């Protein structure tokens, strides 16, 4: 097995006014973010516009992966990871519920792993 460091840090900001803290939290990590979200409820309720506003105010470069399905497919993870690798993404930011968060975590892992996270972790159980 190849040597690697594995850190699955997840910070969740939840509640009234928390979006205002987002820019500062992201800026601590980097200036390039992949925004991962679902099929549109964040656009309907205004959350998307607020998040974009806060991130742009901090001069954070935003890439997007919209339309994440409930129980997302691994192809979505691979696509997001490819964006991260190609663009030098420093942070994957999920806006939404559990499926979006799970997809974002898998994207972050796949973007830094030289193998196939799905095959090695879930199918072959090689990663412990």
What is the structure's pLDDT at 24?
Answer: 85
What number of residues does the chain have? Answer: 128
Q: Which domains does the chain have, with CATH numbers?
A: 19-123 (3.40.50.1970)
Question: Rounded to whole angstroms, how far apart are CA atoms 23 and 58?
Answer: 6
Query: Which long-range contacts does 46-53 make (Cβ < 8 Å, 24+ apart)?
Result: 47/19, 47/95, 48/95, 50/19, 51/19, 51/22, 51/95
Which residues of the chain have a pLDDT value below 50?
A: none
Residue whose structure tokens are 């840090």 = 9
Question: Rounded to whole angstroms, how far apart are CA atoms 54 and 117?
Answer: 32
What is the structure's pLDDT at 25?
Answer: 85
Is 123:64 a contact under the CB 8 Å cutoff? no
Tokens standing for residue 27: 């800026």
What is the structure's pLDDT at 4?
Answer: 66
What is the structure's pLDDT at 75?
Answer: 94
Tokens standing for residue 70: 């409930």
What is the structure's pLDDT at 119?
Answer: 79
What is the structure's pLDDT at 3?
Answer: 73
What is the structure's pLDDT at 7?
Answer: 67
pLDDT in tens, 39-74: 888 999 999 999 999 999 999 999 999 999 998 999
What is the structure's pLDDT at 44?
Answer: 92
What is the structure's pLDDT at 64?
Answer: 97
What is the structure's pLDDT at 51?
Answer: 94
Cα 34–chain centre separation: 6
């Amino acid at each position: 097995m190849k040597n690697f460091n594995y850190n699955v840090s997840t910070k969740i900001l939840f509640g009234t006014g928390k979006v205002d803290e987002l820019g500062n939290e992201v800026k601590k990590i980097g200036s390039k973010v992949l925004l991962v979200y679902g099929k549109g409820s964040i656009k309907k309720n205004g959350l998307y516009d607020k998040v974009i506003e806060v991130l742009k105010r901090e001069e954070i470069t935003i890439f997007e992966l919209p339309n994440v399905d409930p129980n997302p497919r691994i192809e979505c993870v691979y696509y997001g990871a490819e964006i991260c690798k190609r663009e030098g993404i420093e942070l994957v930011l999920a806006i939404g519920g559990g499926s979006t968060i799970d997809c974002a975590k898998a994207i972050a892992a796949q973007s830094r792993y030289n193998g196939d996270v799905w095959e090695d972790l879930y199918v072959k159980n090689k990663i412990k």
